[in-house]
Amino acid sequence: MRASRYLKTSKYHVLYNEDCLETAQRLSDNFVDLIYTDPPFYTDRLFQRGNYRFDDRWDDVDEYMFWLKPRLQEFKRILKSTGSIYIHCDWHVSHNIKVLADKIFNRSNFLNEIIWKRQSSHNDASQGSRHYGRIHDSIFVYAMSSDYTWNQQYTPYSESYLKSAYRHVDPESNRKYALGDLTGPGGASKGNPKYEFLGAERYWRYSKQKMEKLLASGKISHKKGRLPYLKRYLDEMNGRQLQDIWSDIPPEKGNNYKYPTQKPERLIRRIVKTSSNEGQVLYDPFVGSGTSGVVCSRLSRNWIGSDISCEACNLTFERLQALDCQVFFEPWMNLHVCEPILVQE
């Protein structure tokens, strides 16, 4: 329990080399703001990359689910009511996990299944595969209540969309704009008001007062005999609201890629930015190479991580030290068990 004293300080990175069930049990109820969990996927493989390895072989799916259940239950206990959990998995057991997670976190708290396209293609037909290429992971997102932290993220518009939608230019200001529908979708059933505006009687998206304000501020485009449209200026737009298919983040490659199944920083960064704020606490039960710790250090979040593998913890420790991030590592002696690292306290 010694490490819990670090959690009283305002900024911390704490790493536990142990089963995540034990780590979660150390933490009090309603303590963490966000959990990103990337457990073994039930792949029936022994992963190895350089000196790093982890074993994802099980007797059967029941054994795996029996192992996972108490961990997810503990994760729920330690999450704040404003918190959320991201459960990373793939086709092997995603469907079993969804059923279990619906029960534990409550189906009504389910927000999304994010599809992360982790590679462009799987060309294994020549080796005898007779199925479509399996190129995506699933990430299930649950909030703990309706009052969860959410910072909307945006992605840049595609060139083709910019060309087709933002093809109008304001002659005076030279600003590019797109035309947006002002009629109220769903009509009366969605509570849209009906009135006459610029010669057309319709269900409109906004109140008459607001439409008049928009007109007065030059935000409405209107040609005789046609419906009015809203001018959406490109320089006022954030971009495209992030959707649930993420195909713009390639897998980790190159010198940075050290650990089997290591996730890219950009992927975790997106999750951390959306579902937490500066100074909040993220817990990653299966840190592997410590990607979430690196992201939390860069984004000023507090971080608690655990991994059963001491090699994984050492790698995580090294990555964090390289960022000048002070890490409390428990149990401290394990740092020296697998590979000695020079540690400055």
Ligand X SMILES: C[S@@+](CC[C@H](N)C(=O)[O-])C[C@H]1O[C@@H](n2cnc3c(N)ncnc32)[C@H](O)[C@@H]1O
Residue 228 or 260 with smaller CB distance to ligand X: 260
Residue 14 or 178 with smaller CB distance to ligand X: 14
What is the C-alpha to C-alpha distance for residues 110 and 78, in angstroms, rounded to an integer?
A: 18
Please, what is the minimum distance in Å from the beta carbon of residue 255 to ligand X?
Answer: 15
Residue 231 or 319 with smaller CB distance to ligand X: 319
- Give the pairing of strands 32-37 and 281-284: parallel
Q: Which 296-335 residues touch ligand X, going by CB under 6 A?
A: 306-309, 312
Residue 53 or 202 with smaller CB distance to ligand X: 53
Nearest C-alpha neighbor of 345 from the set 329, 163, 173:
329
Per CB under 6 A, 289 contacts ligand X = yes
What is the C-alpha to C-alpha distance for residues 222 and 160, in angstroms, rounded to an integer?
A: 25
Residue 140 or 286 with smaller CB distance to ligand X: 286
Distance of CA 117 to the CA centre of its chain: 13
| Residue 31 backbone dihedrals phi, psi, to 5 degrees | -105, -40
Characterise 74 by phi-psi region: left (phi > 0), alpha (psi -120 to 50), beta (else): alpha
Among 82, 84, 109, 291, binds ligand X (CB under 6 A): 291
- Rg (alpha carbons) of the chain, rounded to whole number: 25
Among 6, 7, 19, 179, binds ligand X (CB under 6 A): 19
Please, what is the minimum distance in Å from the beta carbon of residue 68 to ligand X?
Answer: 9
Among 3, 15, 20, 35, binds ligand X (CB under 6 A): 20
Q: Which residue has the tokens 């001018």?
A: 231
Q: Which 43-72 residues touch ligand X, going by CB under 6 A?
A: 54
Among 83, 184, 228, 288, binds ligand X (CB under 6 A): 288
Specify whether the CB–CB gap between 167 and 124 falls below 8 A: no
Torsion of CA 45, 48, 54, 56, to 10 degrees: -10
Q: How many CA atoms lie within 13 A of 104 on its CB side?
A: 25
Contact map string, positions 237 to 276, toward ligand X, x by CB under 6 A: ----------------------x-xxx-------------
Please, what is the minimum distance in Å from the beta carbon of residue 222 to ligand X?
Answer: 53
Please, what is the minimum distance in Å from the beta carbon of residue 186 to ligand X?
Answer: 42
Beta bridge partners of 44: none
Please, what is the minimum distance in Å from the beta carbon of residue 17 to ligand X?
Answer: 9
Residue 203 or 257 with smaller CB distance to ligand X: 257
What CA–CA distances, in Å, run from 158 to 67, 161, 164, 175, 268? 43, 5, 10, 18, 23
Torsion of CA 90, 92, 96, 100, to 10 degrees: -50
Among 40, 83, 184, 293, binds ligand X (CB under 6 A): 40
Please, what is the minimum distance in Å from the beta carbon of residue 237 to ligand X?
Answer: 33
Size of the site for ligand X (CB under 6 A): 19
Q: Which residue has the tokens 């002002």?
A: 182
Residue 143 or 308 with smaller CB distance to ligand X: 308
What is the C-alpha to C-alpha distance for residues 100 and 105, in angstroms, rounded to an integer?
A: 9
Residue 59 or 159 with smaller CB distance to ligand X: 59
How many CB atoms are closer than 10 A to CB 274? 17
Beta bridge partners of 195: 202
Please, what is the minimum distance in Å from the beta carbon of residue 163 to ligand X?
Answer: 37
Report the interface residues with ligand X, using CB under 6 A.
19-20, 38, 40, 54, 259, 261-263, 285-286, 288-289, 291, 306-309, 312
